[in-house]
Amino acid sequence: MNQIKHVDNNDLKEKINFECETGNYHTFCPISCVAWLYQKIEDSFFLVIGTKTCGYFLQNALGVMIFAEPRYAMAELEEGDISAQLSDYEELKRLCLQVKRDRNPSVIFWIGTCTTEIIKMDLEGIAPKLEAEISLPIVVARANGLDYAFTQGEDTVLAALAQRPNAKQLEIPLEKAILTDNDYVEHVPLILFGSVPDPVVNQLTLELKKQGIRVSGWLPSKRYTELPLINEGNYVCGVNPYLSRTATTLMRRRKCKLIGAPFPIGPDGTRAWLEKICTVFNIEPKGLQQREDEIWEKLKYYVSLIDGKSVFFMGDNLLEISLARFLIRSGMIVFEIGIPYMDKRYQGAELQLLQKTCKEQNIPIPIIIEKPDNYNQVDRIRDMKPDLVITGMAHANPLEARGINTKWSVEFTFAQIHGFTNAIEVLELVTRPLRRNQKLEKIGSQRYTDRR
């Protein structure tokens, strides 16, 4: 179990400065995960059980997608539901039958919200009964704003999926579908977890194949009916930094062994991720140094734009540690890493890589602020005047108007950023405001407010 020891590094706390603020920050509601998960799991339907507020958020945040006949909807609670004049079971049955009739999905996900928490609607209790009655799997995930931020919504859904027992007849090994030859090393099955677009799935699978490692399955798979077989003793490894509940569920409920690795974001992260998996399987990694160097060579132009520049993460999607580590390696100075929630165990290897990266780049380790306070952060941004602030859309325009370059953090969630191939996408995003503003510099004043 060396991978667990690896995570539990005691001297981490001494070297990295963690702080916790008030939690008054802007982020997306975790129900937003339906936006990318319904596209990822092609035969699914997501039913968000909540109020008009939830619906309004989804409708506005997801913009155009809503009109593409989305496979998600609101089960909008009315006054009768709140005061328990209506039976939850009957109401949900009615809606789910309607969904089944109209869309014929292979699975319905129920997304619990703040309201279902507060009125203590027993979704987990109702689901198995209704599932049997309408013969359609129902997976319950509590992705609410009382407990979670933004991307953690995916974590609740994947953790719920990880708890589903294996459906025996449904094994469709991934390698049969996309890999033709068989030069793999013998090893315990490896399952990767984290929702990434299909091209990224293929890219990461191929990178591991180059090392002779076979990926037995992904959680989630393209279709619900193709969920991977997960057996006791299997190895699992995360590709996203916000999946701590899923990791815990796989370890505790499915008795899998977690490979605690940095996340495959940036060429440095991807290499460290691959190397860690290789180490676990006693494989000597081949060609990774060269591969990483090649990628850095291709990133040269972008690195030259940000080298020596400073960046401030306000924090809202939990990708912050990995992104900061990659940007530090690219020569940037990170003033502050805001993050909604910091799982020091699950992100242990990533934190170590951050530490190592700072040491090698010879810069102090940035402060990590959990549950940040946006008001205080804006104050600090005024003092520090970073070259770039990575922030949510609520603050982007006001900061730009004050002459501060910003990048919307949400874009990192929706862009393809994993693996060697996509390292360039991250820097493309990070440098976009800098490149844009270089072009606009001639207009004159960078400030567009008369206040302050």
Q: Does 75 participate in binding other proteins (rule CB under 8 A)?
A: yes
Q: CA–CA separation, 295 vs 231, rounded Å?
A: 36
Residue among 5, 17, 98, 359 that touches other proteins (CB under 8 A): 98
Q: Does 185 participate in binding other proteins (rule CB under 8 A)?
A: no
Residue among 10, 60, 169, 290 that touches other proteins (CB under 8 A): 60
Q: How far is the CB of 154 from other proteins (least distance, A)?
A: 14
Complex with other proteins: residue 11 or 69, whichever CB lies closer: 69
52-61 and 33-40 helices cross at what angle (nearest 10)? Answer: 70
288-306 and 266-280 helices cross at what angle (nearest 10)? Answer: 160
Complex with other proteins: residue 70 or 231, whichever CB lies closer: 70
Query: Both tokens of residue 127?
Result: 């689901």
Annotated binding-site residue? 54: yes
Q: Cβ neighbours of residue 321 under 8 Å, at least 6 residues apart?
A: 241, 337, 339, 342, 347, 350, 351, 354, 368
Scanning residues 165 to 184, which ones bind other proteins (CB under 8 A)?
178
Residue among 3, 44, 51, 270 that touches other proteins (CB under 8 A): 51
Q: How far is the CB of 89 from other proteins (least distance, A)?
A: 11
- Using CA atoms, how far residue 425 sits from 118, 296, 318, in Å, is 41, 13, 18
Q: How far is the CB of 199 from other proteins (least distance, A)?
A: 7
Q: CA–CA separation, 224 vs 203, rounded Å?
A: 21
Residue among 245, 395, 407, 418 that touches other proteins (CB under 8 A): 395
Scanning residues 322 to 361, which ones bind other proteins (CB under 8 A)?
none
SS3 content of the chain, % helix, strand, coil (to 5): 50, 15, 35
Residue among 3, 7, 16, 27 that touches other proteins (CB under 8 A): 27
Give the angle 430-435-437 at the CA atoms, nearest 5°: 110
Give the angle 127-40-170 at the CA atoms, nearest 5°: 65
Q: Does 438 participate in binding other proteins (rule CB under 8 A)?
A: no
Residue among 7, 29, 126, 265 that touches other proteins (CB under 8 A): 29
Scanning residues 100 to 139, which ones bind other proteins (CB under 8 A)?
114-115, 117-119
Q: Does 63 participate in binding other proteins (rule CB under 8 A)?
A: yes
Complex with other proteins: residue 53 or 438, whichever CB lies closer: 53
Q: To the nearest 10°, report the CA torsion of 300, 303, 308, 314.
A: -170
Complex with other proteins: residue 326 or 420, whichever CB lies closer: 420
Beta carbons within 10 angstroms of residue 129's beta carbon: 12
Q: Does 287 participate in binding other proteins (rule CB under 8 A)?
A: no
Q: Does 296 participate in binding other proteins (rule CB under 8 A)?
A: no
Q: How far is the CB of 352 from other proteins (least distance, A)?
A: 28
Q: Does 20 participate in binding other proteins (rule CB under 8 A)?
A: no
Residue 402 near residue 386 (C-beta atoms within 8 A) = no
Complex with other proteins: residue 104 or 361, whichever CB lies closer: 104
Q: How far is the CB of 389 from other proteins (least distance, A)?
A: 13
Q: Does 420 participate in binding other proteins (rule CB under 8 A)?
A: yes
Query: Residues binding other proteins: what is the number (CB under 8 A)?
Result: 75
Q: CA–CA separation, 352 vs 184, rounded Å?
A: 30
List the one residue out of 148, 142, 318 whose CA is nearest residue 239. Answer: 318
Residue among 44, 203, 249, 330 that touches other proteins (CB under 8 A): 203
The conformation of residue 146, written as its DSSP 8-state character, comes to T
Residue among 38, 150, 235, 412 that touches other proteins (CB under 8 A): 150
Scanning residues 354 to 393, which ones bind other proteins (CB under 8 A)?
375, 378, 392-393
**How many residues does the structure list for the chain?**
452
Q: To the nearest 10°, report the CA torsion of 402, 404, 408, 412.
A: -170
Residue 123 near residue 110 (C-beta atoms within 8 A) = yes
Q: Does 92 participate in binding other proteins (rule CB under 8 A)?
A: yes
Residue among 34, 99, 280, 390 that touches other proteins (CB under 8 A): 99
Residues at the binding site are: 29, 54, 114
Annotated binding site for [4Fe-4S] cluster: 29, 54, 114
